[in-house]
Amino acid sequence: MNLTKVLSFVFFAVAIALGYLLYKGVDDVVEEEKRIALIESAIIEKLQMLRDAQLAYQASNGKYADNWNDLKNFIQNGEIWLVQRTETTKLLDYGKEETTVTFDTLGSVNVMDSLFNERKYPDFNLEALAVVPGSGGKMFEFFADKIERNNYQINVFEIRDPAPINPERRLNNNEKALRVGSRTDASTEGNWK
């Protein structure tokens, strides 16, 4: 065998090894992005469920729950009142309309049966609702308070992922961490949109 053939085999082997390393590096990045997207979609689903529970809690109690234990107790034992709203409009003699609104309480339904029923969430586990998926057991951070806007006291809440798995969300002290609600505005939207 001459030197040309030996060098050809060596370069061919090196090219195959470098090609494999390049493929493996790209594949690892793609798989990591898929894993992060899957975990974040599970976090978003839980944040949406917690938002629904917070809205029901606020409708029943006039404020938002500021900790998991209060919200959990409400989900287990609380009730949502079923209210029927009826409007009647009457034409007055001088051409104006008069609208009368009446509210009738029809009954109540348990929060668990209404918001987290088996048909909507077949694998619902209340104990795991406040646990952040992919975090190793960390709980969501809960915040609720009142802020003043135009001389009115407004209830606000925020539920936040304390330790984002996505490196982009960890920048600036978890500034872009997945959350629902706001500490400074009367918003119940999530920041994933």
Is residue 156 scored above 80 in pLDDT?
yes
* 111 membership: H or E segment, kind and range: helix 111-115
- Residue 143, Cβ neighbours under 10 Å: how many? 16
Tokens linked to 151: 């001389």
DSSP 131: B
Domain boundaries, the chain: 3-181
Q: What is the mean pLDDT of residues 38-51?
A: 90
What are the helix (H) ranges across the chain? 3-61, 68-77, 111-115, 171-174
Q: CA-to-CA distance for 46 and 180, rounded, in angstroms?
A: 10
Write the pLDDT tens digit of every residue in 100-127.
999 888 888 888 888 888 888 888 888 8
CA distance 191 to 189: 7
What pLDDT, in 10s, does the model give residues 24-41? 888 888 888 888 889 888
| Whether pLDDT at 171 is above 80 | no
Closest alpha carbon to 64 in 166, 149, 180 = 180
